[in-house]
Amino acid sequence: MNTPRIARAAAVLAACVLVWCVVGCPKTDQPAGNEPSPAKTSGKGPVEPVQPSAKLPDPVPEGQTVRIAMIPKLIGIDFFRACQKGAEEAAKEIGAGCELKYDGPTEAAAERQVQMIDGFVDQNYSVVAVACNDPDNVSASLRKALNAGIFTLTWDSDANPESSGRPFFVSQARPKDIGYALMDEMARQAGEDAAYAIVSGTHTAANQLIWRQFMKERREAKYPKMKELAVEHPGEDQAKATQAAEALIKRYPEMKGIFGITSVAFPAVTEAVVRAGKQKQIKAVGLATPKAMKDYVLKGDIESVILWNAVDLGYLTVYASYALAHGTLKPGDTKLAAGRLGEVAVEGDQIVLGPPLVFTKENIEQYDF
């Protein structure tokens, strides 16, 4: 017998077993091949991994107060102040059975929204309704809220419907209607062969991304001679949006139109055109509150403003949240009773406020938001 050879073989075998146990052996509390998906972080630490499906919480019992946390993209701008006005109107109209907390970040930051959602979960609110700055970053926290027994809803700008599990999105108007209205108005004002640029908000805002998709669809189908020159994303910062628009005006002397497709961007691009003295050469078209754009319209710097009734959007969101919490709004419903708005259409998982509005010299002074 070759004892040294056997000893060496035994040593090698023992070393292999040791290595396998250290790096390859399954842990006793975790079956091999079934590792958990990594948890997403929320700003407060790890949250639960996204699950493949969501079950809605049990309805809030009759007689118990429905506590609604409503989070805008940011606070301190006219659009979301108007939404707050409508939300508070609805909460007051519903009465003692509805408690509303309206609060948001001071800048359009998804991370701050995630922190706020998690905070409202900890405070055991009945409903968390969010206008999302980023459809994906916010989704894990919305799923966490659902798993904790809290209803979730999105409004103005949606989350990822699948990963968030949110049952409904309160839509200010059908995205197709908004995109088409913007492109039709630019073609009417600047011409059906106009070259134009777009100033948006953030790269990740779901509502702006889908409006641009429908703007492109409309252009390609109805105005094939129109040309998109550039798209800028200065964020929800009016000074940066103005600078972006001024740079576009200098860069593209052939430009006949410029879009501002947020309530911050449209006043900014309009001001840039006015400063350049090019109101006749470059048509500014976009989305903003009538209050923010009234002086420009009345002076003739721009012809129109496109939006929806922001007060009504906030109002509808509270009614939808309240109905969802009480179980009177359920997946599969086709309409929602919403106070002074009457019956509002529910199309799949979207609660639709209505078509966009066009504000001109003839009607802009009728609106106070």
Cβ atoms of 125 and 67 closer than 8 Å: yes
Q: What is the pLDDT of residue 310?
A: 96
| Residue 55 binned pLDDT confidence (cut-offs 50, 70, 90) | confident
Q: How far apart are CA 60 and CA 160, in angstroms?
A: 25
Q: How far apart are CA 235 and CA 188, in angstroms?
A: 28
Residue 26 has pLDDT above 60, yes or no: no
Q: What is the pLDDT of residue 10?
A: 44
Quick one: what percent of the chain has pLDDT higher than 70? 85
Q: What pTM does this model have? A: 0.81
Write the DSSP symbol of residue 37. P
**Which pLDDT tens digit goes with each residue over 355-365?**
999 999 999 99
- Between the two ends of the chain, the Cα-to-Cα distance in Å is 97
**Which pLDDT tens digit goes with each residue over 92-140?**
999 999 999 999 999 999 999 999 999 999 999 999 999 999 999 999 9
Q: How far apart are CA 261 and CA 344, in angstroms?
A: 25
Q: What is the pLDDT of residue 173?
A: 95
Q: Which domains does the chain have, with CATH numbers?
A: 66-171+310-353 (3.40.50.2300), 175-307 (3.40.50.2300)
Structure tokens that stand for 20 in this block: 């396998």
Q: Which residue has the tokens 């470059």?
A: 282
pLDDT, mean over the chain: 88
